[in-house]
Amino acid sequence: MLKGIVIAFILVLLFPVTACAEQEDGGAAEVQEEAAYTIMKVDGDIDWDKIPAAAIDHVLWTDDYGIRGSGQLCYDDENLYVHLRAVEKEIRAENTEPLSPVYEDSCLEFFFMPEGSDKYFNIEANPNGCLCLQYGPSKTDRINIVRDDAADYFDIRTDRTDDGWEIFYRVPLEYIQFFCPDYRFEGDLRANLYKCGNKTVHSHYLSWAPIDLPSPNFHCPEYFGTMHFAES
């Protein structure tokens, strides 16, 4: 499915790292529930109507403006496939360049930590298909990942819907293995799904797995939920 060539990664240190919002001091309270999701294995074309959806419906740190999100994930031997969807009437999509602050726009995000790793990836996207890609152990210790061929490599597709917008993309196994050479799609994946928009008409923050922090911060792997790769 992927081109049989080695694709170079350009890694740029980020000082400071951009995020959906700033974190204030304060300890994390105990999470009251554990989010869980099963990532189905697929063979051939994906029928998204048969893939379970995870609701991005924990409204955090702001009033509830009726904005919602959802996510679907599945995989095969070479790729993790992601479909994220937003329900929002007033869409902001200003950013177009790699690593631009897409969290200011209408934004859907997927953060995940491969099993056995103490670092996590964040993939943030706006309705233009513009990505912010980063990797590291914490909010303030991350690297930027720039790919000139991101649209093709991640097979990005965005669409406007009657009530919002959606994005489809894939995360190639070789992309993860660049950082975690022995990684395979098996076992568990610690992860969270987010919906945000710092400069939208109504600033908002939502998550799939709940977060119990006093101020906006999505870079909190201690609050990730568990996604399990189904064997068949």
- pLDDT per residue as tens digits for the range 131-145: 999 999 999 999 999
Indicate whether 133 belongs to any domain: yes
Indicate whether 9 belongs to any domain: no
Domains held by the chain: number: 1
Q: What is the CATH number of the domain that holds 55?
A: 2.60.40.1190
Q: Are the beta carbons of 131 and 151 closer than 8 angstroms?
A: no
Indicate whether 127 belongs to any domain: yes
87 pLDDT band (50/70/90 cuts)? very high
Indicate whether 182 belongs to any domain: yes
Indicate whether 106 belongs to any domain: yes
34 pLDDT band (50/70/90 cuts)? confident
Indicate whether 13 belongs to any domain: no
Number of CB atoms found within 10 A of residue 181's CB: 7
End-to-end Cα spacing for the chain? 20
Q: Which domain range does residue 170 map to?
A: 34-229
Structure token digits, residue 136: 């590291």
Residue 40, pLDDT above cutoff 90: yes
Classify the phi-psi angles of 187: left when phi > 0, otherwise alpha if psi is within -120 to 50, otherwise beta: left
Residue 208, pLDDT above cutoff 70: yes
Instruction: For residue 98, report the phi and psi dihedrals to the nearest 5 degrees.
Output: -55, 140
Of 139, 81, 131, nearest to 108 by C-alpha is 131
Indicate whether 7 belongs to any domain: no
Query: In the prediction, which pLDDT does 232 show?
Result: 78
Q: Are the beta carbons of 85 and 161 closer than 8 angstroms?
A: yes
Indicate whether 208 belongs to any domain: yes
The residue-averaged pLDDT of 34-55 equals 96
